[in-house]
Every structure is written in structure tokens, then in C-alpha cells.
Chains A and B, each alone.
Chain A
Amino acid sequence: SQQGEEDPQALSIQEGENATMNCSYKTSINNLQWYRQNSGRGLVHLILIRSNEREKHSGRLRVTLDTSKKSSSLLITASRAADTASYFCATDARSGAGSYQLTFGKGTKLSVIP
């Protein structure tokens, strides 16, 4: 079952605009990660934010985390056609006996129109 849920499911913007994707999760986490997947390929890690962090930047990416609302957002500034991909949030969910597994949401499909 999915721990994280991304919103919106799909997003279409013009090149140069900003894109914002949201992720909500259900249980407490230690960290939250964002990944990108180009059509039918493997996932690429974008950024990891720990539960004691509120905001993190990496290049054109800005991630925020609000643990009180159990939500995170990913902002891509000045989008490019190459940013067209699906974006997933992933949380570390406890799976019993002290072990953890990475649980992914269903993703936001971003289309950047040149």
C-alpha cells in the first residue's frame, strides 16, 4: 500500500514556469525522498529531506517538509522540457522488527511544453 500520495496526479506547464507537486503521507517518518522517472525507465534520486529539516534546496529544486501536516512539496523553478517526467515521493515506513522499507506514492506526471 502507498504511504505517500502525490497531488496533482498530472500537471502541464509551459517552459520557464514553476511546477509545484505535493505529497502527503500517513505515519511518522525519519526522512522523505523525491525521485524522478523518465518514461518507463529507472528512478533517479533528486533530494532527501530529514524529519528535522523544514526546507532543502538543490539547484532548481526546492523541497519543503511539514511534519505536523504530514506533507511535503517539491518546487521546480524555471522548468525545462527535459523536466518532463513522473515525480515520486518516498517515505521510510517501518515494516516491523525494527526494519524499514521505502514506500512510494503513485507519482505526479509533469509535462513541460516547449
Chain B
Amino acid sequence: KAGVTQTPRYLIKTRGQQVTLSCSPISGHRSVSWYQQTPGQGLQFLFEYFSETQRNKGNFPGRFSGRQFSNSRSEMNVSTLELGDSALYLCASSLAGGRAHEQYFGPGTRLTVT
């Protein structure tokens, strides 16, 4: 089975711009979660989608949003970028999400905001 893929792998944006990141989960996985990883805050949960519905949301401002398509692919959008949004954004898929399910991570998208 192909693993979780994320595009693009690297991105440089300017403050105030918006960005869309894409994640393709492992075939058959219906849950996709997004995480932000920074040296200061570590890995922080953004949100989880399951069957096209946002099932869970972390403590991030409304500038961070996402969606999931019928084929389970997911996109994450950040509007009005700030310098502090520079981070590695990781997406993970699992069979059903929630508890007791291991997650399979993609390689991440490295976002740099200048």
C-alpha cells in the first residue's frame, strides 16, 4: 500500500498570504488528522476529519481550517499567514481515528512564512 502523501513538501509564503496544503491518506483509511510541529510548542493537534466531517478540533484560531473529500483526501488552509505559522505541518491517517488506532504519518509540509 502506498503511504500517506503530502504536497507540497516545502513552501515559502509572505505574511498576510494564504496557503493550502494537501494530504492523501492510505487507501481505505477514513480518518485524517493534521498537526503543527514547531521547536517551541512541539506537536500540536489541529483537527481531525472522518467521512468528510470535522470530528475534532484543537485549540487553533479560525484562520486554520480544513476539509475532507469523498475519497478521504484532505486539505488544510491557513489564511492571513503570520510569522508564527512557520512550522512543519503533518498529516496522519488511520482506519477510524479516535482512540486505540495507530496513526500513519506523511512526510510533512515545511511552511516558512517571511
Contacts and interface: CB of A to CB of B under 8 A. Distances in A.
Contacts of A101: 33, 45, 48, 56, 58
Interface stretch (A14-22, A68-76, A103-111): A103-111
Interface in A26-50: 30-31, 33, 35, 40-45, 48, 50
* Residue among A100, A101, A103 with the highest chain B CB neighbour number at 10 A: A101
Interface residues of B: mostly helix, strand, loop or mixed? strand
A29 B53 CA distance: 25
A100 B108 contact: no
Chain A, interface residues (CB within 8 Å), range:
20 to 34
Nearest to A98: B98
A12 interface: no
A40 B110 contact: yes
Contacts of A31: 99-100
Interface of A: 1-2, 30-31, 33, 35, 40-45, 48, 50, 88, 92, 95, 99-107
13 contacts: A42-B90, A43-B43, A43-B90, A43-B105, A44-B105, A45-B105, A92-B98, A101-B48, A102-B45, A102-B103, A104-B42, A104-B43, A107-B42
